[in-house]
Amino acid sequence: MTTSNNHSLANTIPASLKSQLPIFQVIGDKLPAVVKTPEAKKTFSALIFWVLMIGGVIAFVKYLPLLLEYAQKSVLFVLFGIVFIVLLMLAPKIISVLHRLGTVLLFKGEKAIIRNNPIESLQLLSREAKDTLKRVKEKIANVDGVRIDMIQSGVTAQNAAQEKYTFAKRFTTEAGNLELKGKEAEQAQDREKANALSRDAKETRTKAFLLGKEGEAEEQNARSYAQYANQFAKVLEVLKDNESAARIYVSTLDSSISIINKKWKPPAK
């Protein structure tokens, strides 16, 4: 009993302190009881823990559909990434398989056309032959153009060689005249003039020599261009033979198709 009275007195707020501190007007005349024992602190902590746990469960249940949606998207993203990487690594093999498959299917389709309708098979061959003839004509035009260019380049090189030879001969003659004049000056005891003429003669003869070498190089180029032109002419003859054969083949197919169209009747289905 005495202990209870002492506790009440200890928690009672004196009137003088109550009037000085307005906060006691809110919490009352007595101080709140202090949690003194470890058991009370443990109970309070457990209460906070279970409140947090219940709040977490409620939040989990509330956002469960959203979490499942994100998880599904993440799984799909990973799967698509794996498939994309595998396809990228196997791209050459897949392309090769598809190419072979397309070739086989095309071959089977053509065989079916040939079995079912010989006219269509001949028309297919005629289209291929005409395409071949067109490509041969284009090659003939290209090769002939190169051959003509080689001929023109050879003519240009030959003209350049002749021009350089002409200048070389002129400079050689001029160098000879300078040497004669130099000897005359030397006989006339004009040493300075003789040396000057000798130097000019050497320079002129060097120009003639160099121009002669350039002419030889141009002439060699002209011969090379002529050889190239001859080689392209041989190739051109081969292509013209191929063009003639292709033209004969196309004409034969067209005639065969015309004859079959007039005489052949497809079997009744």
pLDDT tens string 10-67: 445 556 555 555 555 555 555 555 444 555 556 767 777 777 778 777 877 777 777 7
Cβ–Cβ < 8 Å for 87, 94 = yes
Sequence-ordered list of residues with C-beta below 8 angstroms from that of 240, at least 6 positions apart, any chain: 140
Q: Rounded to whole angstroms, how far apart are CA atoms 80 and 89?
A: 14
* More confidently predicted of 150 and 89: 150
Q: Rounded to whole angstroms, how far apart are CA atoms 263 and 269?
A: 19
Q: Rounded to whole angstroms, how far apart are CA atoms 218 and 115?
A: 64
Interval 133-169: pLDDT, tens: 999 999 999 999 999 999 999 999 999 999 999 999 9
* More confidently predicted of 139 and 86: 139
Cβ–Cβ < 8 Å for 120, 113 = yes
pLDDT of residue 2: 43
- Tokens (6 digits) for 262: 């007039």
SS3 annotation, 72-128: HHHHHHHHHHHHHHHHHHCHHHHHHHHHHHHHHHHHHHHHHHHHHCHHHHHHHHHHH
Q: What is the pTM of this model?
A: 0.49
